[in-house]
Structure 1
């Protein structure tokens, strides 16, 4: 399974909102500028995050987005599933060879376990400790 830019940039948005949690709304413009990303593309990504209830939008001159829960309550798995869909390394059916099917299920479950046990709080703590340059969003 390869996480696309949707998942990677979605994590970037959510990590920025987590860093500023409790400080008020954060604009997509500021996130786009800080990470040299397209603001228009971030707008497309934040819509499903808002629709899923992970973020709330705040209107007005000082508006932007805030997390709808604490950074400890939102996992990387929550974000990836919203933006990328179900977590699965391959599509498999009941007709597949049982040994291979078992392998795909174990891989899927291992990926899901890592994503679901990694919260936004974990990710921003990792970044705060200066280890972010070694962190990769690839699975």
Structure 2
């Protein structure tokens, strides 16, 4: 049960998307930000970031557009995006224990540890639910517009 680099990259990518989206909205009508620009600014591999953003799209956190002015944009205000949503969209390992995901275990009678995984899962998501994308953005801005992660 662990968080992977995907979540870290997602937060960095979403932070950069927000920054670039705000710059663009001041200069023009374009709402979408190229995954290439996000990748280039964050030094996250383009193909990996594109896969992450595809998963975030399925979760309704970002939207995408095709064509010359295509790319990604945030579908919600940053204060409405909880980190628990982002992590839940990306991190399958957190759901790898049947006792956590299904409430049952193949070895329920003999397993002395199921309560541990349930408590750890709950603690992680309780904390992640207290933090929003807006918190990440504000922290990054305090740090001088460098990636907060």
Runs of 4+ with >6 A deviation: none
Any conservation in 2 of the 1:54–1:67 contact (CA below 8 Å)?
yes
Under a length normalisation based on structure 1, what TM-score does the superposition of the two structures give? Answer: 0.79
Gaps of 5+ in 2: 26-30, 100-104
Change (3 A) 1:18 1:128: same
Q: 1:97-128 CA distances to partner (integer Å, 9 max, x unpaired)? A: 2xx43333222211101111110000111111
3-state SS of the aligned residue for 1:117?
coil
Q: 1:58-111 CA distances to partner (integer Å, 9 max, x unpaired)? A: 2332322111110011111111111113746966434322xx433332222111
Under a length normalisation based on structure 2, what TM-score does the superposition of the two structures give? Answer: 0.74
What corresponds to 1:110 in structure 2? 123
Number of matched pairs: 133
Gaps of 5+ in 1: none
Tell me which structure has the larger Cα radius of gyration.
2
CA RMSD of aligned residues (A): 2.6
Change (3 A) 1:101 1:55: same
